[in-house]
Amino acid sequence: MIQKVKIVIHGVVQGVGFRPFIFRLAKELDVKGWIINSSQGVFIDAESDRKTLESFIRKIDTDRPKNSYIQSFEHTWLDAEGFETFEIRESKESGSKTALVLPDVSTCNDCLDEIFDPKNRRYLYPFTNCTNCGPRYSIIADLPYDRCNTTMGEFEMCPECRAEYTDPLNRRFHAEPTACPKCGPQVTLKGTDGTVLYEKQEAILNAVKAIKDGKIIALKGIGGYQLLCDASNQDAVITLRKRKRRSEKPFALMLPNAKMVIAECEVSESELRLLSSVEAPIVLLKKKKNIQSAISIECASGNPYLGIMLPYSPLHHILMKELGLPIVATSGNISEDPICINEEEAFEKLADIADYFLVHNRKILRHVDDSIVRIVSGKQVMMRRARGYAPLPVVLNGIKGVTLAAGPHLKNTIAINKANNVFISQHIGDLENIESINAFKRVINDIKSFYELTPEHVICDLHPDYISTKYAESLDIPVHKVQHHYAHVLSCMAENELEGSDMLGVSWDGTGYGTDGTIWGGEFLVPQGISFKRAAYFKPFRLPGGEQAIHDVWKIGLSLLYSVYGEKVFELEIIPFLKKNDALLVKQLLDKNINSPVTTSAGRLFDGISAIIGIRDTVNYEAQAAMELEFAADDFKTNEYFSFSIDESGGSLIFNWENMIKGIINDLNESVPKGKIATKFHNTLAETIVQIVQRLKYSKVLLSGGCFLNKYLLEKSINRLTEEGFKVYTQQRVPSGDGGISLGQMKYSTYIN
């Protein structure tokens, strides 16, 4: 089947023969399409079969002209248009010629060679960079991108650095953050009271020693602080968990090299490419089974996946080379606060967690978390979009004027456009405390001031109590509100360049404010521009105790069972949580309808089923019950699903899950393994999508919302829908979770008059 891949590259210099190179490569591989090289970047539309396009992508990386370099490389799989030739198109340059703020770029190979060459003047210098690599977004105060507008401005270049910087033939010609051991920033190892213990290379060596001794280091990295410890040392990992008060949520890891990643995990070629890409994100990889792992089980217990990244800054490279060990590299913050970026804050917040601080005197201007990506069905699934990606724009046509999209409440990102460039911010986080709210406002101001933008409209969520909604309302410009799940669908449309109403958006997540004031989350929506049709949704159920039920997921399980079995629910011997002391109390809440809001949430259905199957009664972190339900299904090969019915009410279809619950109870009574029940549950949901789409007769299906970060559900849904002849669209460059809401809100603005 012919597909199209849309490639956006930033950082390629003009005049090195990049366009002719792509042209020749396309001819050689018989790829059709076009290339444009403009001041906004290199844009390529390439069509061929999947395999050819994959080698096209690989060869751009390996065979490109010697003096070209790539500072960002993003691609999206789209529908083919049927090009007949490959052509070099002239760039129109009608849009603005403003230079873009680039993301922070991982260390290039040339710089790496210098760092590990004892004869080089930058030998083991942790702030080595060049025009092709180094920090960008995290150190830029203003545009134009000149040294004086970055936090490197305070470092006076030495004559040697200045000579490189001013030589057009040098790799460091106008490398704004360039530095060397003589003139640039330096590292220091400090105790928790701030006393300087060691400096320069001694600081790094002693940090390495401390990590090997099981200590915890707070490291000032690129976009903020990270907490590091030896991932092979169980006691160290447990200590970090205790001190960070993070009992079970998986820790991200950094491994010294790709070889060790391959030894620990199943790694496909596209995953390997991603790990060592310029973006260098955390990639979720499946652990190998039955191996002698060097990674303590405590890093991600009960989780068949590991979040792994490779060293991406010189400081990380030097540390990891000395260590030769896998390390935990988790964000330097308290719970869900934004990561610390300055020393004062770090010492205040992390002194009880870290034993030592490895810091430096190059200022970080804004927090940029490590991005998290996974590959599902051969496509990228963005879970957290930050370092390496933000604030690169996504192109979206039809926006009128300048629009600010204020984003959702949880996992917030914001977006602002300049013409058809939509700048999507880095992951900001949950707007639940003053630090996050301040970060939210700072990021909006950053993007506004970089591009000198004054928003004329603001788009926000329909939820009246969200901080982002209230912020939008506080601005003195027209406010437009978009229903949360519709924004998910619009985000998926924007990414896939879809327009019109002949499609069904499947929008499943944990929570979103519905147009009827109830909590939605299991929605099937048909886009209709400014509005939408709620074509189908999950049969509603109650959340006894309201928000609290998100933690005590067994209460959701009880609610589901109660709605199926009524008074007979307590006769279900097989369900242990029914014997809990407060089970009767929960029933009373439901009976009297006290603090028990109705919801159609797919995420909450996952939670409740997880409790019923006996996987989790309560959770320690967001989505834990649903994730463990996914993991239970991970290895079980069955296509069986539970029976369910599709009802009709008020012109909408209703996914009635009652028979499914009965099926689950039957299986439990017959001692069917939990993994198999979990698999059948996932299969049932995929089947629900298929049957609803068949009833509604749409040929295009869009999958969005946080539930589709679930690999099993996403894969199964794609496979079943494709088998039945539907075209499936997913999110690739922005998260299908709430991090993608701001793009959906921006898409909404194209319908406003």
Binding flag, residue 687, Fe ion (CB under 5 A)? no
Q: Which does 133 bind (CB under 5 to 8 A by kind): Fe ion, Zn ion, none?
A: Zn ion
Minimum separation from the CB atom of position 737 to Fe ion (A) = 6
Stretch binding Fe ion (CB under 5 A), from 6-14, 509-517, 645-653, 684-692: 509-517
Per the document, the length of the chain is 753
List helix spans (H) across 697-737.
711-723
Q: Which does 106 bind (CB under 5 to 8 A by kind): Zn ion, Fe ion, none?
A: none
Q: How far apart are CA 647 and CA 400, in angstroms?
A: 41
Determine which residue in the list 130, 368, 589, 685 makes contact with Zn ion, applying CB under 5 A. Answer: 130
Whichever of 222 and 506 has its CB closer to Fe ion, that residue is: 506
Q: Which does 738 bind (CB under 5 to 8 A by kind): Fe ion, Zn ion, none?
A: Fe ion
Question: How many binding residues for Zn ion (CB under 5 A)?
Answer: 10
Minimum separation from the CB atom of position 107 to Zn ion (A) = 6
Minimum separation from the CB atom of position 189 to Zn ion (A) = 23
Do the Cβ atoms of 730 and 386 come closer than 8 Å?
no
Whichever of 133 and 323 has its CB closer to Zn ion, that residue is: 133
Footprint on residues 314-373 left by Zn ion (CB under 5 A)? none
Minimum separation from the CB atom of position 658 to Fe ion (A) = 25
Whichever of 298 and 509 has its CB closer to Fe ion, that residue is: 509
Whichever of 256 and 744 has its CB closer to Fe ion, that residue is: 744
Do the Cβ atoms of 150 and 141 come closer than 8 Å?
yes
Determine which residue in the list 509, 523, 622, 687 makes contact with Fe ion, applying CB under 5 A. Answer: 509
Please give the DSSP secondary-structure letter assigned to residue 550.
G
Whichever of 277 and 491 has its CB closer to Fe ion, that residue is: 491
The helices-and-strands tally (H runs, E runs) of the chain is 21, 32
Per-residue binding string, Fe ion, 455-494, x by CB under 5 A, is ----------------------------------------
Q: How far apart are CA 84 and CA 231, in angstroms?
A: 52
Q: CA-based angle 320:324:325, to the nearest 5? A: 95
Q: Which does 509 bind (CB under 5 to 8 A by kind): Fe ion, Zn ion, none?
A: Fe ion
From residue 150, give the alpha-carbon distance in Å to each of 39, 101, 497, 634. Answer: 22, 12, 35, 46
Q: How far apart are CA 100 and CA 429, in angstroms?
A: 24
Q: Which does 284 bind (CB under 5 to 8 A by kind): Zn ion, Fe ion, none?
A: none
Footprint on residues 140-159 left by Zn ion (CB under 5 A)? 158
Q: Which helix (H) or strand (E) holds 534?
A: strand 531-538
Q: In this structure, what token pair is assigned to residue 293?
A: 């792992």
Binding flag, residue 133, Zn ion (CB under 5 A)? yes
Binding flag, residue 264, Fe ion (CB under 5 A)? no
Binding flag, residue 112, Zn ion (CB under 5 A)? no
Whichever of 133 and 375 has its CB closer to Zn ion, that residue is: 133
List helix spans (H) across 451-552.
467-474, 484-495
Q: Which does 453 bind (CB under 5 to 8 A by kind): Fe ion, Zn ion, none?
A: none
Q: How far apart are CA 473 and CA 483, in angstroms?
A: 16
From residue 144, give the alpha-carbon distance in Å to each of 250, 421, 440, 695. Answer: 40, 18, 23, 55
Q: What sign results for the dihedral spanned by CA atoms 459, 464, 466, 469?
A: positive
Long-range contacts of 616-619 (CB under 8 A, 24+ apart): 616/553, 617/552, 617/553, 617/554, 617/577, 618/551, 618/552, 618/553, 618/554, 619/550, 619/551, 619/553
Minimum separation from the CB atom of position 346 to Fe ion (A) = 31
Stretch binding Zn ion (CB under 5 A), from 107-115, 238-246, 304-312, 591-599: 107-115
Determine which residue in the list 132, 150, 277, 412 makes contact with Zn ion, applying CB under 5 A. Answer: 132
Q: Are strands 541-542 and 727-729 parallel, antiparallel or unpaired?
A: unpaired
Q: Which does 130 bind (CB under 5 to 8 A by kind): Fe ion, Zn ion, none?
A: Zn ion
Q: How far apart are CA 442 and CA 446, in angstroms?
A: 6
Determine which residue in the list 60, 161, 564, 626 makes contact with Zn ion, applying CB under 5 A. Answer: 161
Q: Which does 158 bind (CB under 5 to 8 A by kind): Zn ion, Fe ion, none?
A: Zn ion
Do the Cβ atoms of 214 and 238 come closer than 8 Å?
no
Whichever of 279 and 509 has its CB closer to Fe ion, that residue is: 509
Binding flag, residue 105, Zn ion (CB under 5 A)? no
List helix spans (H) across 634-752.
658-669, 674-696, 711-723, 741-748
Is the peptide bond preceding residue 455 cis, with omega within 30 degrees of 0?
no
Stretch binding Zn ion (CB under 5 A), from 80-88, 131-139, 526-534, 710-718: 131-139
Minimum separation from the CB atom of position 528 to Fe ion (A) = 20
241-258 burial, b at 16+ Cβ within 10 Å, e below that, comes to beebebeebbbbbbbbee
Q: How far apart are the first and last CA of the chain?
A: 39
Residue reference for tokens 């280091």: 217
Stretch binding Fe ion (CB under 5 A), from 8-16, 502-510, 603-611, 681-689: 502-510
Minimum separation from the CB atom of position 163 to Zn ion (A) = 10
What are the backbone angles phi and psi of residue 236, rounded to the nearest 5°? -65, -45
Whichever of 277 and 425 has its CB closer to Zn ion, that residue is: 277
Whichever of 311 and 521 has its CB closer to Fe ion, that residue is: 521
Minimum separation from the CB atom of position 726 to Fe ion (A) = 23
Minimum separation from the CB atom of position 139 to Zn ion (A) = 15
Cβ atoms < 10 Å from Cβ of 581 = 6
Stretch binding Zn ion (CB under 5 A), from 5-13, 77-85, 123-131, 692-700: 123-131
Footprint on residues 711-750 left by Fe ion (CB under 5 A)? 738
Whichever of 322 and 509 has its CB closer to Fe ion, that residue is: 509
Footprint on residues 175-194 left by Zn ion (CB under 5 A)? 180, 182-183
Stretch binding Fe ion (CB under 5 A), from 56-64, 174-182, 501-509, 538-546: 501-509
Question: Which residue's Cβ lies closest to Fe ion?
Answer: 509
Binding flag, residue 622, Fe ion (CB under 5 A)? no
CA-nearest of 746, 704, 149 to 424 is 746
Helices 50-63 and 18-29, packing angle to 10 deg: 150
Whichever of 180 and 265 has its CB closer to Zn ion, that residue is: 180
Do the Cβ atoms of 468 and 460 come closer than 8 Å?
yes
Q: Which does 2 bind (CB under 5 to 8 A by kind): Zn ion, Fe ion, none?
A: none
Question: How many binding residues for Fe ion (CB under 5 A)?
Answer: 2
Minimum separation from the CB atom of position 563 to Fe ion (A) = 24
Beta bridge partners of 357: 190, 218
Beta bridge partners of 187: 360
Minimum separation from the CB atom of position 622 to Fe ion (A) = 12
Q: How far apart are CA 486 and CA 495, in angstroms?
A: 14
Beta bridge partners of 381: 374
Residue reference for tokens 């609803």: 692
Whichever of 164 and 630 has its CB closer to Zn ion, that residue is: 164
Stretch binding Zn ion (CB under 5 A), from 42-50, 126-134, 141-149, 287-295: 126-134
| Contacts with Fe ion, residue ranges (CB under 5 A) | 509, 738
Q: Contact positions toward Zn ion, by CB under 5 A?
A: 108, 111, 130, 132-133, 158, 161, 180, 182-183
